Structure 1
């Protein structure tokens, strides 16, 4: 199993979970997962974490600062099918119709470089390579399109691709036997 965690979930982990875990079980679960490769920290998410929330994630998770724990995404190339999905399934058509073809292509290029896109591409790579049976994407985003963005959010895209997407509380509940969380 591979678990790919979005920036929003790392921030939530540091703000809302780790401070209330006196035995550091949650911290140790994520540290061990990063170190053994079952939890994936992609480079674009690491970069986002270095820009947001006054670097709270980098300051509180020591394993974030070890470059060997960061998965590079420079070798992830979208397939023609993925480009078709971006055009027809991942984009919000009402927003797309407001743009010229050139504007849409520019925004699509930006999306392809984003952490959201890299998370999805990394999950698809694991599935395609048959490296693992299950991929879980963890994000605090909701699937509702309420922010007037051109592309759907991570949970909606995962739903289209049949990739399991959980929030951080759902992930913790799913693995609570391993985490051994007690309040």
Structure 2
């Protein structure tokens, strides 16, 4: 299975798991999964990692900033110009099913502006990439620490709610780590 990982999950990884990874088992495993293409980091997530918590993710997973590593494994995955498969259906869902109650109070011009902004976010790009992979019959999941509820006054629903609508597998980082066999982080 391939997974597209969100900034929130990368941040949880480096804050709550890597400090206990005394033998670099998890660090090396993540590096291996990124290099073999099973753990996908998109450009928008990479950009968020540069400025979130003073670049903590990129400092902790230092190979993500190594020029040779990035070049050899084509990182981060470029998503800026991706179009969703079944574009008409996707945009129909975007206009109707993905909206929060807040967005329904916006006038048409405001909604169009919010929609344009949303399509530039890491959330939207991860979902579009997942739809592309899913349409190619690849087993794909999005890993995020977001929950379905609450929306921080945004115009569109959160990743888990959108994935539910689109039938895309979504999981949190602990669930992903359970899927991987053989990872044993030692607490000392």
Structure 1 spans left out of the alignment, 5+ residues: none
Q: Confirm or deny: 8 A CA contact 2:6 2:143 kept in the other structure.
A: yes
Within-5 A mapping of 1:76-87: 76-78=82-84, 79-87=87-95
Q: Which residue of 1 aligns with 2:182?
A: 178
Q: Confirm or deny: 8 A CA contact 1:135 1:164 kept in the other structure.
A: yes
Say if 2:73 is the partner of 1:72: no
CA pair 178-123 structure 1, distance change in 2 beyond 3 A? farther
Structure 1: 4+ residue segments shifted above 6 A:
none
Structure 2 spans left out of the alignment, 5+ residues: none
Q: Which residue of 1 aligns with 2:29?
A: 29
Say if 2:163 is the partner of 1:158: yes
How big is the shift at 1:179? 1.9
Within-5 A mapping of 1:6-155: 6-65=6-65, 66-67=69-70, 68-78=74-84, 79-92=87-100, 94-130=101-137, 132=138, 134-155=139-160
How big is the shift at 1:170? 1.1
Q: How far apart are the structure 2 equivalents of 1:82 and 1:64?
A: 32
Q: Confirm or deny: 8 A CA contact 2:20 2:186 kept in the other structure.
A: no
TM-score for both structures, normalised by structure 1: 0.93
| Equivalent pairs, count | 179
TM-score for both structures, normalised by structure 2: 0.90
